Amino acid sequence: MKLCIAEKPSVARDIAKVLGADQPKQGYFEGNGYWVTWTFGHLCTLKEPHDYSPHLKSWNLIFLPIIPEPFGIKLIENPGVEKQFKIIEKLVADCEEVINCGDAGQEGEVIQRWVLHKAKCKKPIKRLWISSLTEVAIKEGFANLKPSEDYHNLYQAGNARAIGDWLLGINATRLFTRKFGGNKSVLSIGRVQTPTLAMIVQRQKEIDAFNTEEYWELKTKYRDVIFNAAIDRLKTKEKAEKGLEYLKQNLFEIISFEIKEGKEKNPRLFDLTALQVEANRKFGFSAENTLKYIQSLYEKKHTTYPRVDTTYLSESLHPQIPAILQSMNFYRELTAPLLAQPIPKSKTVFDDTKVTDHHAIIPTEIPPSSSLSREEKLIYDLVAKRFIAVFYPECKISNTLVEGQVGTIPFKTTGRQILELGWREVYSKEKDDTEKKEKEEEQLIPEFKAGEKGPHKPFIHQGKTSPPKAYTEATLLRAMETAGKQVDDEELREMMKNNGIGRPSTRANIIETLFRRKYIERKKKNIFATSTGVELIDTIQDELLKSPELTGEWEFKLRKIERGEYEASQFKEELIAMVTDLTRKVINEKAKVISFQQEVQPKEKKDPTPRKTVAIIWEETDCPKCGENKLMKGKTAIGCSSYKSCGFKLPFIVFGKKLTEKQIQDIIIKGKSSKLKGFTEHPERLTEGILRLTESGTVGLQTE
């Protein structure tokens, strides 16, 4: 029998159906010469310090740095995990060949390799590598199985990443907590989270230190067109008024009038970060939620693999594009012009040299059904329209530059006009706030002739200098992608991805981790560091820990390991040397205890009639989604004890509102809450309503 191991039960079902393994067993499917089983994501993890020696459970500084040799893995302590692993272990022992069907990426490779290592697998291993879960893709993947050795470097990079994160996270967190934490709380340090926090703190300091200054500008109106003086801003009102008097004494003269036709390039296809940025900008979705929605669309076979960092397609995909466009029933009006002629094979879309593990995120030939959630529909629409837009012609524009003069003072104005919509036709029916603002600021410029003169209406514009903008989740993701550098050009940004902080699939989790640890907070769409976050970064003297550029260099080395151009052992040795040096320096530093930010809770009015609330024992309560397992209470949510297979989770904070124990009980037991107020982060900006459990186990907000 051949053993296939998928990363999730749902994926295993899809694979089993294609292979004809249609007999369900306990923990796997069987049939047609195959066993198809699954993990629940991570079944194994790196061992903790106390697993190597009991005395390392102590956070005493004398035991630092902790450097295991060799590093070991263990099963995650969970009854469901242990039960499933025993099934996998037995199947591995009894099979003739293993087919690794984990997610086709670095993390998926590590998940499966650790499980197979723990199961002491000695059988031949092959690799299924696919970019979508459609039947066609699965069949094609099994027809082209790869030797497991082809992905050895990918595993080495993922394993090195995990070991690097462990070395720095365990040692630096214990080191700073014991030295500066004052026994109040854990000071969490991470290879990626700390430089990310440092960027936020640095931006906040720039904002706080910014001194707003008033300035004055000279402007004038000639033939209903506003011209700006092409001189430095004036620092005093007196100078501005003096300049105004001078302008009134002279006629306006046109020096030059120039119109240049140009083209506006098509937008690129989405990688995960770009999709998260756009979803945050348009809908206010967090990076974590966007990843959840696009992952769901992938598992429902509507889009391709989402955890990607390229905006290009493989050249071999070109013949499949018409069939995908043909299947997009909801977008027939937009796809019809494309299907009337051959799809161009442009290097800006199809380029094998720019594709690594996977191509950019695009729709599959399976269109979505009406059962998608509202959020999933919005994300699918972003992916679908971007996919269509890249095959449209470029947008043709005209740029107008007019230069004038009043006496000796030069003036100029610019204008922009769309001549042919091109790819903008795809978005012509939707206008977001940014586009509206741009249109409002545009002015129609008539034809001018050099040398013409006439009266004009000069005036003074008074303004104030603005501080740098606080990070939003969208701009923070971009900053992580470019290691803190401000890069607007898409091509340059593409080149810098190798040196970004973290990977596309992990950045959302890093941001959420900083929120959970109360190092950062959200105010409307903006992200700010808390006093604890600022103090933590100020306490860290070692620039290696908080430098986005240096962390970007580590990421670059990990990608080189992936390509077989750098040794994983060397990366590990460099981190060991850094951690050892850091430990020595910090232990010798003068300790300054960090004061932790306390959450200020609003005072509640006392209810004159006290009510008795019966506390629910979650471990004895059935999961409302699967009904087969009990619930368990975590730090941030109530969830199914078999969460990896079931997926049910009810966070304590929903759409920005912190739920009470009673409200959580109502939702789980009754399926809905009473009418609630105070929601601050709903994508449709709803502030009140009733929370209801959906059939899929998620929570929706209804206004009636």
DSSP states of 15-27: HHHHHT--EEETT
For residues 668 and 692, the answer to whether their CB atoms sit within 8 Å is no
Which residue shows structure tokens 């340090």? 189
State the Cα–Cα distance between residues 89 and 122, nearest whole angstrom: 12
Task: Round to the nearest angstrom and report the end-to-end CA distance of the chain.
Answer: 55
Of 271, 277, 301, the residue nearest 363 (C-alpha): 301
Instruction: List all residues 6 or more positions away from 131 whose beta carbon is below 8 Å from its beta carbon.
Output: 104, 137, 304, 305, 358, 359
HSE toward the beta carbon, residue 216, CA cutoff 13 A: 14
C-alpha distances out from residue 379 to 99, 297, 412, 584, 696, Å:
32, 9, 42, 48, 18
In whole angstroms, what is the distance from residue 649 CA to residue 639 CA?
4
Q: Please name the residues in contact with 513: beta carbons below 8 A apart, sequence gap of 6 or more.
A: 188, 190, 193
Alpha helices in 43-95 (DSSP H): 49-52, 79-94
- Tell me, what amino acid is at 570? Q
HEC-encoded secondary structure of 472-518: EHHHHHHHHHCCCCCCCCHHHHHHHHHHCCCCHHHHHHHHHHHHHCC
Cα(618)–Cα(632) distance, integer angstroms: 5
| β partners of residue 229 | 411
- Note the Cα 659 to chain centre separation in Å: 26
Half-sphere exposure of 630 (CA within 13 A, CB side): 9
**Strand, coil or helix: 257:** strand
592-611 CB burial, b ≥16 within 10 A, e <16: eebebbeeeeeeeeeeeeee
Which of 483-494 are b and which e, b meaning 16 or more Cβ less than 10 Å from the residue's Cβ? bbbebeeeeebb
Residue closest to 89 by CA, chosen among 120, 122, 114 = 120
The C-alpha R_g of the chain, in whole angstroms, comes to 29
* Catalytic annotation, residues: 305
Angle of helix 473-481 relative to helix 272-283, nearest 10 degrees, comes to: 160
Closest to 422 in 3D by CA, of 399, 393, 464: 393
User: How is the chain split among helix, strand and coil, in percent rounded to 5?
Assistant: 45, 20, 35
CB atoms within 10 A of CB 690: 16
Q: CA-to-CA distance for 637 and 667, rounded, in angstroms?
A: 13
Q: Hunting for tokens 């949510």 — which residue is that? A: 637
